[in-house]
Structure 1
Amino acid sequence: MVIMAGTVMLAYYFEYTDTFAVNVQGFFCYEGAYRKPYPGPEDSSAVPPVLLYSLTAGVPVLVIIVGETAVFCLQLATKDFENQEKTILTGDCCYINPLVRRTIRFLGIYAFGLFATDIFVNAGQVVTGNLAPHFLALCKPNYTALGCKQYTQFISSAHACTGNPDLIMKARKTFPSKEAALSIYAAMYLAMYITSTVKARGTRLAKPVLCLGLMCLAFLTGINRVAEYRNHWSDVIAGFIIGISIAVFLVVCVVNNFRGRQPEHEHSHTDNLAQMPMISIPRVESPLEKLQILAPLCWHSTVMHLKTKTLRALLEQNQLYK
């Protein structure tokens, strides 16, 4: 909970405060990469932020709750309730419901990854200060005052723009694309959840169709950002890489591909073998060990044999003498 609270606070400072100053990146006079027309505010986009954030926050919650409830009901129907994972609180009789435990764990990890993706993206945007394709339309530089007589002249002054400062600041934060990163993270996490959790018959084709549909929506979101001149292709690709990397890391290394805890009898099998007495475990001796055990016996039998022969010889000599 402490780590989660710190992650949320860091994401808040990146998003809504000026604690971290954005790097002021310069540009060349009349540079064609930044001369695209201004597409309007984010709310006028085909995928507005309200819709994107609602889908990335609501769809995974709904899918995971429905999926865990279905799995729990199937386990009850197959009388497999005793084999479900549970967290013991006090004694052997009090435990958290497996449905609640798994749902909270998977949704908590998803929420952490969502804020972590936002932090990674905001950190990249603050450090690079990459300019949007429509930057010059918002900057409105006075080329005459700046002395732009050649296209190769580089403008690095922070006061070269005459447009709205708030819009200019947003146009300096495009790499990587936040919309692409959040959409692909949510789609990747859900796709891996569906693939790992849904084991019902008749879903051999339904699972890939659903997963590819989610991935397709995420890719369309990135393509829309480029088509509306809000991001460059490099911004979208970097956002995709960040979102996919965080989702794969959390699913594979943190929640172990959405697998529950192994039953106690599987964990205790090795411990029981280790605690068994040595006499009950069969053991194969090596040839060297056998020689070490048989050598004293052989020596003793040889000595006794020599002593017997000597006594017989002495007795025979004594009889001849008599």
Structure 2
Amino acid sequence: MSNETSSSETTPLRRPETQTPNNVAQSNRQTTANVVNNTHSNNNNNYGDSVEVRLQEGDSTQQQQTTTMDTNKRILCRVGLDILILLCAGFPILLFFLLGEPYKRGFFCDDESLKHPFHDSTVRNWMLYFIGAVIPVGVILIVEVIISQNKAKQDNGNATSRRYVFMNYDVPDWLIECYKKVGIYAFGAVLSQLTTDIAKYSIGRLRPHFIAVCQPQMNDGTTCNDASNVGKYIQDFTCKGVDSSARMLKEMRLSFPSGHSSFTFFAMVYLALYLQARMTWRGSKLLRHLLQFAFIMVAWYTALSRVSDYKHHWSDVLAGSLIGSICAIVVANYVSDLFQKPNTKPYLARTVQDMNVQPPQGITITSN
């Protein structure tokens, strides 16, 4: 038994069977088939991947174009809505000018306040438009451009403010601010003028040069030069209006309140408030206040000229100045964003940028 055991323990391991030529050929055919199949499968996978990538690129491009079109539509709709609102507010002013008929009130022939001569306006219409349109828009444009340039220098290319893109054009910040500031100014000016016109046509107060322009004649053929008309309140009369145009005969009943005063006071008071909020130049503390005083004096002189030119009574000028000033204060404080404090941190963080707002700097106490 011992011999058998030892012989079995020393028996060499069994070698694998040798490959015959048929086996080798079959193995090669299987390897070739596997390689071919793998090659076809890899090609199919690569083709599918490329098609999938192209589809993804097409979808992203189409999605980007759709987003751009939606953004352009929103901007156009917003601008169009703003213009429509301005037109709706200004359309009644045009109706008053073309079709409005002022209230026709009577007068006393011995009323000294109606016997002043007719004079041309010291502040002409083109001057009024320059004061109320060119100066405010020019100042707003200059200030916003300077603020935008200073902000760009401080950001040094790391601006985090919201960008506006329209028709693949990056709209600059100063243009957006000018659009908002000028639009709100125009809206307030239209409302101020509409308020003035409603009062003008509802009251129909006679101007100081009424008798000189109208040259009234009573139904019995008498005039204010006849003693029989002294102390009488005259309602039935016709205007001879020698050397007076139809526009002058209409304007002679539109004394209260003064349109020149209300328009210039709105423009200049609003501009002074705008400079108070937006002009932050530290080079001189008095420059801003000097400009504000100069603008207010332009409105003050315009209002005074309406009295010296016998276009309005002093109470007309006072009422017009108050209307323009009150409208400017209300629009600047409650319609525009001039005096609204910006929120440094939102109530609920919505973006990573909002959540990473730096806390206000203060004194930090550390202990070892």
For this structure pair, what is the TM-score category when the shorter chain's length is used for normalisation? Answer: 0.7 to 0.9
- Residues matched between the structures, number: 262
Shift of 1:251: 0.7
1:209 maps to amino acid? L
2:281 to 182, 193, 200: 200
CA deviation vs aligned residue, 1:280-319 (integer Å, no higher than 9, x gap):
xxxxxxxxxxxxxxxxxxxxxxxxxxxxxxxxxxxxxxxx
Q: Report what 1:183 is aligned to.
A: 264
Identify if the C-alpha distance between structure 1 residues 83 and 220 changes in structure 2 by more than 3 Å, giving closer, same or farther: same
1:213 corresponds to which of 294, 308, 318 = 294
| 3-state secondary structure, aligned to 1:237 | helix
Q: Calculate percent identity across the aligned residue pairs.
A: 25
**Rg (Cα) greater in structure:** 2
1:55, CA displacement in angstroms? 2.3
Q: 1:13 to 1:82 in 2, by over 3 A?
A: farther
Displacement of 1:208 in angstroms is 0.9
Provide, for residues 28-48 of structure 1, a one-character-per-residue CA deviation record: whole Å limited to 9, x for no partner: 1221110011114xxxx2211
Match of 1:162 in 2: 240
Matched, 1:10 2:92: yes
The residue that corresponds to 2:222 in the other structure is: 145
> How big is the alpha-carbon RMSD for the aligned residues of Structure 1 and Structure 2?
2.7
Could you say what secondary structure the match of 1:142 adopts? strand
CA distance in 1, matches of 2:203, 2:308: 22
User: What are the superposed Cα offsets for residues 52-104 of structure 1, whole Å, 9 maximum, x if unpaired?
Assistant: 112211111111111001001101111177666536679xx997532221110
Change (3 A) 1:200 1:269: farther
The alignment partner of 2:184 has SS state of: helix
Between the aligned partners of 1:181 and 1:84, the Cα distance in structure 2 is 41
Unaligned runs of 5+ in 2: 1-81, 352-368
Alignment gaps of 5+ in structure 1 = 273-322
Superimposed CA distance per residue, residues 166-223 of structure 1 (whole angstroms, 9 cap, x where no aligned partner):
3221110111111111111110111011111111212311111110111011001010
Q: Separation in 2 of the partners of 1:240 and 1:253?
A: 20
Counterpart pick for 1:58 among 134, 138, 142? 134
How high is the TM-score relative to the length of structure 2?
Answer: 0.65
Instruction: Output the CA distance in 2 between the equivalents of 1:253 and 1:177.
Output: 25
Q: Distance between the aligned counterparts of 2:160 and 2:227, measured in 1?
A: 71
Q: For 1:184, give the aligned amino acid.
A: F
Moved more, 129-138 or 20-29: 20-29
Q: Which has the higher contact order (CA 8 A, sep 6+)?
A: 1
Q: More displaced, 164-173 or 217-226? A: 164-173
Which of 241, 244, 255 aligns to 2:325? It is: 244
In 2: Cα distance, 1:94 partner to 1:270 partner: 29
Structure 1 residues 88, 57: closer, same or farther in 2, change over 3 A?
closer
Q: Report if aligned partners of 1:174, 1:231 keep a CA contact under 8 Å in 2.
A: yes
